[in-house]
Chain A
Amino acid sequence: MLLYIIRRLISVALTFFVVSVIIFLMMHSIPGGPFDGNDMPVSEAVRAKLMARLGLDQPLHVQYLNYMWGVLHFDFGVPYQSPGESVIQLLSRAWVPSLVLGGLGVILGAPLGILLGMAAALNRNSIIDYFASTFATLGLTIPVFVISMLLILVFAVWLDWLPASGWGSPDRWILPIAAYAAIPIATYARYTRSAMLDCLNRPFVTVLRAKGLSENRIIFQHVLRNAAIPMVTVFLPMFIGTATGSIFVETMFRVPGLGAYFVSSIEARDYPLEMALVLMVTLMFCLAYFLADIAYAWLNPRIRVGGDH
């Protein structure tokens, strides 16, 4: 098991490296640069000087190595948009709203989705099942920004119960959290339902019934444990996947979080900020897959114990 973990860690590190190279290259191969925009007209000489100071005139591989060397020292450079602070400072400021809203959305949404999926699987073809399936399909097909707009329209404009946007007082959090939660509820409900149904149809469940175990024991000890195996592999990366939803939610609700900076850094060719954000998301994905692999191995004796007959 320990060797397994080490092997996974090595592969995570490799993945991270490859992804960082690809992103670096892609970002720099997009036509245009930070000083090409109309809103920052500079002369050729000034531009060359600026490029030289930022190291943008050097060959790409040198730029990459310089950058990664800095990253290893937690130096992500200075955002071009806000030169008064470092990328780290900017990120640690922008983290908070994203983490609070996104985190709460997922923490509230995931268990709700799982419970909904379980209820649907255990009461197959009942009202609960139809409701859950409809809800999941809607949640997955309606884009987040439409959900956000609907929430604003209903609860802020028509009913006037809650403020429509901003950051600060907790009552402003409710609508973005609801928007964030919609995707986890829908996806988790769907996956839980199909994972549970898949397990309930397996022959060993009939054997467990034939042994005279109570239905509760069968569901909560055996079926859930087996259903958890495919679920962890999907759920952990999905957790991170909600991060991409932040772009829309934070734009709609005008929250000054990471999502908002994501959009503006791409527009402004703000390489240091952009790179830091993408690397952060990549790292979170890598870690999520790593944890998912470990959880999968831990839950699955075929990997944990090995020794196939």
Chain B
Amino acid sequence: MTVPALELRNVSKDYLIKAGGGLIPSYRRHAAVAGVSLTIARNSIVGLVGESGSGKTTTGMMALRLVKPTSGRILVNGVDISQLDHKGLKPVRRQMQVVFQDSYSALDPMMTLAQIVAEPLDIHGVGSPREQTDEALSWLERVGLDRSYGGRYPHELSGGQRQRVAIARALILKPTVLIADEPTSALDVSVKAQIINLLQDLQEEMDLSILFISHDLSVVRSLTDRVVVMYRGQVVEEAETEAIFSDARHPYTRALLDAIPAANPRDRRVRRFLSVEEIEAATPRLARSELPEAAEPSQTPQLVSIGPGHRVAAIVTP
């Protein structure tokens, strides 16, 4: 088996939260992410979905090492980066880039688009200034903007155009991994499809691996190969995208799918919503004998394999 582009092994992140307001405040640990493992195979797009507070963004930031994990390992192309310091991370940063939802605040308003796109080349000392500008202009073209945009500033662009610039800047160093955190959520409907198509095209052309963090399941369905569902800091289900849509096993995944608005008014229905307690109570219980792979019985949910590439958080009964 080939080495995955990105692998998280049992990664956790705890934050200290103020618990008591006495003279000397007391703190308690809150696990924003608790023991998450996920793998992005080379040349694939994996969707990471979940509600706000599920830990999906923190997971993405840990993969980038913009947030240091409390425990666990992060491997990029097989190399463990979880303990690297600032200097050691610099070559890794070339391999791994990020695009955010709010591209406006992510682009320096005082720089021209050519400068913005060329900046990573400059930081990593690739090529002469002239070559850097040439490369930046050809990247603007590649993401669907005219070369003449090179002299413009971020405020002159629409949201979709800014997102194209952010993508060009992220990909100019030819990384192997791209983390995309809700890159289409702030975009107009007619532009959203453009950016989704751009990401698909670039992924194929560059043999790129993408972690696509999103709460929009419709976009995830059209864009990704696999889906990982997070709920309250943990992975509750993962499978190939179509298996998630056709054969979801975890109650939270089903709740998410059920919440997708109808695509046609004739499909309207009255929904019943599950409370947190109901979701927990509905955690699947699977008999050990039925599982295709060996698993120890447990009282708390654990991720178990239930089919090819399909894992779900379940309580394993003897």
Contacts and interface: CB of A to CB of B under 8 A. Distances in A.
B232 to A, nearest CB: 16
A297 to B, nearest CB: 12
Interface in A153-191: none
A26 to B, nearest CB: 32
Interface residues of B, number: 3
B23 interface: yes
Interface in A39-77: none
Interface in A1-55: 3-4, 6-7
Contacts of A3: 21-23
B125 to A, nearest CB: 44
Interface string A88-110: 00000000000000000000000
Contacts, number: 7
Contacts of A7: 23
DSSP class of B's interface residues: helix, strand, loop or mixed?
loop
Contact of A306 (B21, B22, B23): B21
A7 B21 CA distance: 10
Interface string B20-37: 011100000000000000
B18 to A, nearest CB: 9
Nearest to A306: B21
Nearest to A10: B23
Nearest to A1: B21
A175 to B, nearest CB: 48
Contacts of A6: 23
Interface in B1-50: 21-23
A7 B23 CA distance: 6
Contacts of A4: 21
B167 to A, nearest CB: 31
B128 to A, nearest CB: 47
Interface of A: 3-4, 6-7, 306
Task: Please name the 7 residue pairs, one residue from A and one from B, whose CB atoms are nearest each other, closest first.
Answer: A3-B21, A3-B23, A3-B22, A7-B23, A6-B23, A306-B21, A4-B21
7 contacts: A3-B21, A3-B22, A3-B23, A4-B21, A6-B23, A7-B23, A306-B21
